[in-house]
Structure 1
């Protein structure tokens, strides 16, 4: 087992998670909310990334075994760190519950321990839905789309992250494949935001629900979910975007690209 190459991958994962905190920070600043919880999380993620980067790989080889371990540990580490904003802010006083909420997001499960989601700040609501948006395509698929990895390394990670036979068609140009699928994913999300805005949903609400629908997790910022808007148009639009992915259990963006 090449533990050092796994540490290198985990270091990159933590670097990305630290950078992702910039988005809820911007959201919190726009709405005049505290950003301390996000800055603390960013600091911890950055520190972990630095410590893991100290383990320089002596060998560059990465095979299926390392791929599966990297994916598993990345999910765990991202969830443990991703739960910190909820815990530090006091929005979810129990760290265990905060981890549950975050794991539910990254795995797009959609289960929640919150009884009054509307009491949560906009910055935290954005981060909560962002976890589902990232999880919709797979955490490691996202990492491969934004950070350079050797093609042979990416293949084993991709096989560990994405179910089904469609992965074979994405190899050998795995980096370009993940980039293209994410562009499709972003375009579909943006399209849904526009359609929801056309239905009278506020811009922030549209963005949150679009990310949740794209990832098929279903997180909402209303206690009544989309039922709050009492709009058949909104129900139909979200249903159209969610149904294909929820039926196949495979990201629709990968399916679209693989069939092309």
Structure 2
């Protein structure tokens, strides 16, 4: 098992989540929310940048991954993204339980829409936006999104994509996996925009 490549890809994925958390920060700025919300968001971003940054410092020599690494990366990505994605709720004390916050965000990334909240309007606008934004990201698949924007010169992320997409057979739309993921996401965002209008 190529543990260094698993670490490297998971670290990149944590950095991607840190960048995605900047969107609710912008929402919090727009609505001039409390310093507690900003502290919660920036604390989570700081943790993600620290962990992700330290994990990508040393690029693995062997960048090949196989099916078992692909499945492990998918499973760990869902767990890590849900855990760290729920931290702003815990830090802002809007969902005090780590388990409840984990459930709330994992339901977003999996687009099940389940919630532990009786009334979602009790959340601050930025955290309510983050909760909704996770549904948009998860609608196409967290890792499909990540593969669309990650650098993959050697096309070694094929096993990750195979583990993420449903069905027994995976096929690429074009020869490069990154371009396939980008095309799929552009179609997804185009349909999303059409329904918003």
The question of a shared fold, defined as TM-score above 0.5 by the shorter chain, is answered with yes
Q: Summarize deviations over 1:136-172 as a string: whole Å, max 9, x none.
A: 1111111111111245422111100001256224363
- Secondary structure in 1 aligned to 2:7? helix
Q: Summarize deviations over 1:219-241 as a string: whole Å, max 9, x none.
A: xxxxxxxxxxxxxxxxxxxxxxx
| 1:99 aligns with one of 102, 108, 131 | 102
Relative distance call for 1:70 and 1:78 in structure 2 (3 A) is same
Q: Is 1:48 matched up with 2:51?
A: yes
Instruction: Find the counterpart in structure 2 of residue 111 from structure 1.
Output: 114
Q: Whole-Å Cα distance in 1 between the matches of residues 161 and 154 of structure 2?
A: 10
Q: Whole-Å Cα distance in 2 between the matches of residues 106 and 165 of structure 1?
A: 22
Instruction: Find the counterpart in structure 2 of residue 21 from structure 1.
Output: 21
Of structures 1 and 2, the larger Rg is shown by 1
Instruction: Find the counterpart in structure 1 of residue 183 from structure 2.
Output: 180
- Secondary structure in 1 aligned to 2:49? helix
Q: Whole-Å Cα distance in 1 between the matches of residues 32 and 67 of structure 2?
A: 46
Instruction: Find the counterpart in structure 1 of residue 10 from structure 2.
Output: 10
Alpha-carbon deviation of 1:187? 1.2
- Secondary structure in 2 aligned to 1:18? helix
Higher relative contact order (CA 8 A, sep 6+): 2
**CA-based RMSD:** 1.5
- Secondary structure in 1 aligned to 2:156? helix
Any conservation in 2 of the 1:68–1:160 contact (CA below 8 Å)? yes
Q: Whole-Å Cα distance in 2 between the matches of residues 176 and 105 of structure 1?
A: 25
Instruction: Find the counterpart in structure 1 of residue 76 from structure 2.
Output: 73
Q: Whole-Å Cα distance in 1 between the matches of residues 139 and 153 of structure 2?
A: 24
Q: TM-score, normalised by structure 1?
A: 0.71
Alpha-carbon deviation of 1:185? 1.1
Where structure 1 has 5 or more consecutive residues not aligned to the other structure, the ranges are 195-260
Instruction: Find the counterpart in structure 1 of residue 86 from structure 2.
Output: 83
Q: Whole-Å Cα distance in 2 between the matches of residues 176 and 152 of structure 1?
A: 11
Any conservation in 1 of the 2:107–2:114 contact (CA below 8 Å)? yes
Alpha-carbon deviation of 1:86? 0.7
Alpha-carbon deviation of 1:184? 1.1
Q: Whole-Å Cα distance in 2 between the matches of residues 50 and 175 of structure 1?
A: 22
Q: Whole-Å Cα distance in 1 between the matches of residues 68 and 165 of structure 2?
A: 15
Q: TM-score, normalised by structure 2?
A: 0.93
- Secondary structure in 2 aligned to 1:91? coil
Q: Whole-Å Cα distance in 2 between the matches of residues 150 and 133 of structure 1?
A: 27
Show structure 1 runs of 4+ deviating over 4 A.
Answer: none
Q: Is 1:153 matched up with 2:181?
A: no
